[in-house]
Amino acid sequence: MARRLWGLHLPSDDLDNADKPEKNVRLKRERSSSEDLEEQVSHKKQRTDEPVGNKQCISCTETLSKQSFASSLLACDHAATVCLSCFTNWIRVRIDEGNWKAIPCPECSRTLSYGDLLDLLKEVPKLFERYDTLITRDAISSDSTFRYCLAPGCASDQFHPRGTDEPIFTCEACGFKACVVHECAWHAGETCSDFGERKEKEESAQRRRDEKASIAAVKQDSKECPNKECKVRITKYGGCDHMTCSRCKHEFCWECLARYDEIASRGNHKHRKGCSYHRPYRVPGYQPPEIP
């Protein structure tokens, strides 16, 4: 009876094996494995948008070959997920912004090593040369005896070992002479002391002229608040001529400085004569006689 009931639930081709449970288990496993294999093949066929060996850049989201990514970075312990093109743009922006001393990895923020940058920029040698020049100059500029030529158009540099003890710096490339004390062209005919005193007098006189010019400009473009207890200078930048002092809140006409409370309560004749807003006083209800 049990054998008959079991046979009802078995496929017809397995009825002959109903009395062989081990063989039935093996058949079920083989059938299950076959179905799993078919499902995997079907799933693999559906993934036609990502060929084997390609990966997606997390920056531009393009699916690219593995050769389009850095193989490895000395400063990092992760696989590169930013393509070389995006990595190059990232480095270029950091250099353009002046942040080239410590360029971080865009993925983990660890500082990229010199070797990493050499490898990343091997396809753009001019950019690496620019970076290399910057870090080289930065390294040698920390030496107080290293100097750049101040001549316009000359990019030469050299060491000046004696420093201010020998105030004249002579460029070996163009022959331009500069004063290492005052960082300017050499002041022929004057000692550094004389030159310094003269420059200080000239700069002091220029500061006084600038201050006077500034005061004159303020007076020209501003007026004192007509409130005798305030007198703060006010500058008008536009708008109507009904002004309000920001300090004492006094209201007045910008053109003639008349009090605005009197103008509002008594009329435009309270504007001072000569003001474009002034109108002659008229008695309320008065009608001038008609001239025949």
CA distance 195 to 188: 10
Structure tokens at 126: 């001019």
SS3 148: strand
Residue 242's contacts (CB-CB under 8 Å, 6 or more residues apart) are: 251, 253, 254, 260
Give the pLDDT of residue 292: 59
36-60 pLDDT per residue, tens: 445 444 443 443 344 456 889 988 8
On the question of pLDDT at 261 being above 90, the answer is yes
CA distance 143 to 88: 31
Residue 8's contacts (CB-CB under 8 Å, 6 or more residues apart) are: none
Angle formed by the axes of helices 125-141 and 84-96, nearest 10°? 40
Give the pLDDT of residue 70: 83
Q: Please tell me which residue, 248 or 42, carries the higher pLDDT value.
A: 248
Q: Residue 2: which pLDDT band, with cuts at 50, 70 and 90?
A: very low
Length of the chain: 292
